[in-house]
Amino acid sequence: MLRLSLLLLLLPCSSYSMLLGWVESPGYPMRYLPHASLNWSRCAPKGQTISIRLIHLDLENSQDCENDAVKILSNGNRIAVLCGKKEYEELQDIVNPLLFSSPGGCLTLLFHSDYSNTKRHTGFKGFYTLQDFNECEDDPNNECTQFCHNFIGGYRCSCRHGYHLAQDKHTCTVNCAKDLSGLKRGDISSPSWPESYAEHANCKYTLSVEENLQLELHFSEGFDVEQRPDGHCVDELRIETHSETLGPFCGNKPPPSPLLTYSSHVQIHFTSDGFGTNKGFNLNFKTRDKVCRSVVTSNSKVTPLKQEYHRGESVTVTCDLGYEVNSEENEAILTQYETTCQSTGVWAPSYPCEIVDCGLPYIGANSILQVVDGQNTKYNSQIKFYCSSEYYTLDGNDTYTCNANGEWTSVDGNAGMPKCNEVCGMPETDPTTTGRILGGSKAKPGEIPWQLLIKSPKRGGASLINDQWAVTAAHVVEGIRADFLELYGGLIDGQSANISPIRITKIITHPSYSTAPPSKTQTNFDNDIALIKFTSKVKLGPNLLPVCLPEVNRGVSENEQGTVSGWGATIVNDRERIKTKFLQYVHIPVYSLAECMNTPYTPSNEAMTFTNNMFCAGGEGMDSCHGDSGGPFVSPFLSSGGPHYLIGIVSWGSNCLEGAGKGKKKGYYTKVDNYVNWIKKTINEN
């Protein structure tokens, strides 16, 4: 009975306290052994706390309690580390007031002893209790704005007379929501006007009248809504219409009076915080006929310009520069329209002025487009064009801007998009030695990258003029179906098996080229030119590049030096004719017109025809030969540097093998500058 009485004296005085149990060290009260330990933990329900009150503590004393110790934690955070011997009064006054959990939290006690005790220590003993947490007194964040009432496990809030609890069950506010729809006159004021308005007010006043009327607000003197020193509103008044929000208003300066809302439906909002003694506001509302405002739509202006317009008045709406009328009725870009003020205070018709969008432009082949302003293609945005590889060059400006007409224009104001054209006539390696087709040395890779080889059905040559077209002699491809033609590019070894043929989709011979009847030898090679179109674009590279076309009517000059190339026949030991395996080339001069007109005869003693569409060239022991037909004659000659132009196509000539490669040779070539217009027109149409 004496022990129980002592325990009751130790309990706290709270009427909500109740004893839950004891906690003590292993072996208490005799002694605890070395390497003893205890891990104890309890948790409190919501709205309550758990505490430990030690009545005895006798442990080995050590520096920072590193030997034997009791550690007490609240929700994992250490609140006490104890060791040594403490008297009962010290425990009660200093230690025990610290040993409690947070509301709804957990309390943990950890005890351990080391390997030895030099003296006998009895350990510790305490009891733990569960107590109600008084949120009203001990929790400054209980959220009740007026009255707080505590109960076991929680609390509740209540309000003074004239207030009610909001939905959060903590905030006391006033009931100041009013629907005044249908009234054409009246007064609205903050709660308790002209006395200080209530804290935590959240008022909404609704006004609604006929569509042809508008509400106007007249504020009385004494406007007083709490405002911070920096001008920002603490409490605020806002006025919302169907099209805009006016405010917030605060301080001592009322809104302009009368305040024209231009609307038949208005909501007035007033909110306050939990502090302050300001008076608030008072206003009188009434109605008047609606008028139209001077702004029909954004990004535009109206003419004639007035502050307001009455029913039946019309204006012209003109969109700002770079904006257009968004009307589904018109596909073309419009920048202005007529509109009329209606009795309801709105303009009809009314179309928005939206920023002009040029859209993504057409990107030609081999072009890369970069939008400078992210993905924005609207007025004043910029785009840049690049070519896809070093083997193309940009024809036109690289930077374009979206103008007010919805068109992309270059920085110098020119319309139209740039193109990526093939780099032509610029081999990466020019020959440094002079070879010969008749017994000459072979070309190196990349020296004549426009040279193409026709293997079948007839052996001949062709020249690459862009990434999808080649030009050759008409007599090389006459009567041949496109899918039967074997055409190769990017090689110097004519017998290479590592390169696939270029697929052909179309062969177009010049319409004025004519062949001889089957029973006669052909003596007229006028207009000996044809175009070859590939199924798809070839990939350009150092060994496959186009040659340049000459200017129209460029002409060919006597003694002009050029280079002719091909896989035609060559001479071995000055007498034997063979088909060369490797690409050959030779530099030869152009002959005079008189020399060219002195044409050879056929075996049947018929003179060959020379026309203005031809020229001839050759040299001592140097000329094109059998199998070179359709191949290129370029100027300037290769070792002189580029760009190189295709001025001739190997067409016909004297017997290049007569005289075993000795003496003056003469070959005839189609004069390409006479056909540049036909070439470009044919390519554009096909």
Question: With the C-alpha atoms ordered 610, 613, 614, 615, is the resulting torsion angle positive or negative?
Answer: positive
Determine the Cα–Cα distance for residues 95 and 88; give it in Å rounded to an integer: 10
Q: Looking at the domain assignment, is residue 5 inside a domain?
A: no
In terms of pLDDT, which residue wins out, 8 or 634? 634
User: What does the alpha-carbon distance between residue 382 and residue 372 come to, in Å, rounded to a whole number?
Assistant: 5
The residue from 528, 623, 628, 673 that is catalytic is 528
In a domain, 220, yes or no: yes
From 300, 323, 355, the end of a domain falls on 355
Phi-psi bin for 527: left (phi > 0), alpha (psi -120 to 50), beta?
left
Residue 9 lies in a domain: no
Is the domain of 301 the same as that of 263? no
Cβ contacts of 187 within 8 Å, gap of 6 or more? 282, 283, 284, 285
Q: Residue 109: name the closest of 45, 151, 29, 54 by CA.
A: 54
Which of the following is catalytic: 463, 629, 651, 654?
A: 629
The yes-or-no answer on residue 587 being catalytic is no
Q: Is pLDDT at 498 greater than 90 in this prediction? A: no
Q: Is the dihedral of CA 452, 455, 457, 458 positive or negative?
A: positive
Q: How many CB atoms lie within 10 A of CB 459?
A: 21
Query: Under a CB-based contact definition with an 8 Å cutoff, are residues 290 and 213 in contact?
Result: yes
> How far, CA to CA in Å, does 114 sit from each of 33, 68, 117, 276?
9, 6, 8, 62
Question: Is 208 found in the same domain as 159?
Answer: no
Bridge partner list, 69: 112
In a shared domain, residues 284 and 319: no
Q: Which of 475, 510, 587, 644 is catalytic?
A: 475
Kindly list the distances between the CA atom of residue 662 and the CA atoms of 221, 462, 573, 574, in Å, as whole numbers in the listed order: 120, 27, 12, 8
- Same domain for 395 and 463? no
Look at residues 355, 380, 396 and tell me which one is the last residue of a structural domain.
355
Strand partners, 292: 309
pLDDT for the residue numbered 660: 43
- Do the domain assignments include residue 210? yes
What is the CATH classification number for the domain harbouring 314?
A: 2.10.70.10
Domain that holds residue 223: 174-289
Nearest Cα to Cα of residue 472 among 678, 615, 673, 632? 632
In this structure, is residue 583 part of a structural domain? yes
Per the annotation, binding residues are 60, 68, 114, 116, 132, 135, 150, 154, 226, 235, 273
Pairing of strands 576-579, 300-303: unpaired
- pLDDT at residue 503 greater than cutoff 70: yes
Measured distance CA(397)–CA(408) in Å, rounded = 11
**Mean pLDDT, residues 654-660 taken together:** 54
CATH number at residue 162: 2.10.25.10
The reply to whether 117 and 146 lie within a common domain is: no
CA 408 to chain centre: 20
Between CA 238 and CA 245 the distance in angstroms is 7
- Are 495 and 576 spatial neighbours (Cβ–Cβ below 8 Å)? no
Q: What is the pLDDT of residue 19?
A: 57
| Predicted pLDDT of residue 576 | 47
208 belongs to the catalytic site? no
CA distances from 58 to 29, 35, 70, 508, 554 (A): 10, 16, 11, 113, 117
pLDDT > 60? residue 16:
no
Report how many domains make up the chain.
Answer: 6
Confidence check: pLDDT of 591 > 70: yes
| Domain containing residue 89: CATH number | 2.60.120.290
With a cut of 70, say whether residue 627 has pLDDT above it: no
pLDDT of amino acid 85:
92
CATH number assigned to the domain comprising residue 632: 2.40.10.10
Specify whether 64 is located in the same domain as 197: no
Question: 660 and 542: one domain?
Answer: yes
How do residues 78-111 score in pLDDT, each as one tens digit? 999 999 999 999 999 999 999 999 888 999 999 9
Q: Determine how many CB atoms are found less than 10 A away from the CB of residue 522.
A: 16
Note the Cα 491 to chain centre separation in Å.
43
| Residue at which a domain ends, from 150, 172, 194 | 172
Residues 6 or more apart from 87 whose CB is under 8 A from it?
Answer: none
**pLDDT tier, 1 (very low <50, low <70, confident <90, very high otherwise):** very low
pLDDT for the residue numbered 551 = 95
- Quickly tell me which residue has 């319409």 as its tokens: 511
Compute the 3-state secondary structure of the chain and give helix, strand, coil in percent, each to the nearest 5.
10, 40, 55
Residue 270 burial (CB count, 10 A): 24
User: Is residue 535 domain-shared with residue 592, that is, in the same domain?
Assistant: yes
Residue 428 falls inside a structural domain: no
550 prior amide bond cis, ω within 30? no
Binding region for Ca(2+): 60, 68, 114, 116, 132, 135, 150, 154, 226, 235, 273
Q: For 50-65, how does the pLDDT look when each residue is reduced to its tens digit (9 = 90+)?
A: 999 999 999 999 999 9
- Annotated catalytic, 64? no
Asked whether the bond before 45 is cis by omega within 30 degrees of 0, the reply is: no
pLDDT given at position 622: 56
Residue 6 lies in a domain: no
Q: How many residues does the chain have?
A: 686
What are the tens digits of pLDDT across the range 314-372? 999 999 999 999 877 666 778 999 999 999 999 999 999 999 998 888 887 777 777 77
Same domain, 182 and 253: yes
Residue 580 has pLDDT above 80, yes or no: no
Mean pLDDT of the chain: 87
| Structural tokens at position 102 | 């947070």
Range scoring the smallest mean pLDDT among 123-127, 167-171, 219-223, 468-472:
167-171
Whether 437 has a pLDDT exceeding 80, the answer reads: no
Is pLDDT of 148 > 60?
Answer: yes
Q: What is the mean pLDDT of residues 675-686?
A: 96
In this model, does residue 162 exceed pLDDT 90? no
CA dist 87 → 54, 98, 124, 461, 658 (Å)? 10, 16, 12, 116, 134
Which of these, 585, 318, 299, 623, lies nearest to 443 by C-alpha position? 585
Residue 94 has a pLDDT of 92
Two tokens at 125? 């003993």
Residues 145 and 184 in one domain: no
Please indicate, yes or no, if residue 104 is contained in any of the structural domains: yes
Beta-sheet strand order (sheet of 469-472): 486-489, 451-456, 460-466, 469-472, 530-534, 504-509
What are the two backbone dihedrals, phi and then psi, of residue 603, each rounded to the nearest 5 degrees? -55, -25
| Three-state SS letters, 204-223 | EEEEECCCCEEEEEEECCCC
Task: Tell me: do 374 and 346 sit in the same domain.
Answer: no
Nearest to 39 by CA among 104, 85, 108: 108
310/368: higher pLDDT: 310
Q: Indicate whether 665 and 594 sit together in one domain.
A: yes
- pLDDT > 50? residue 14: no
Contact by Cβ (8 Å): 18, 129? yes
Q: Which residues 6+ apart lie within 8 Å of 357 measured at CB? A: 377, 378, 379, 402, 406
Return the closest-CA partner of residue 260 out of 271, 244, 281, 236.
Answer: 244
Decide the pairing of beta strands 408-410 and 399-402: antiparallel
DSSP 95: I
Distances (CA, A) of 280 to 112, 117, 255: 66, 76, 13
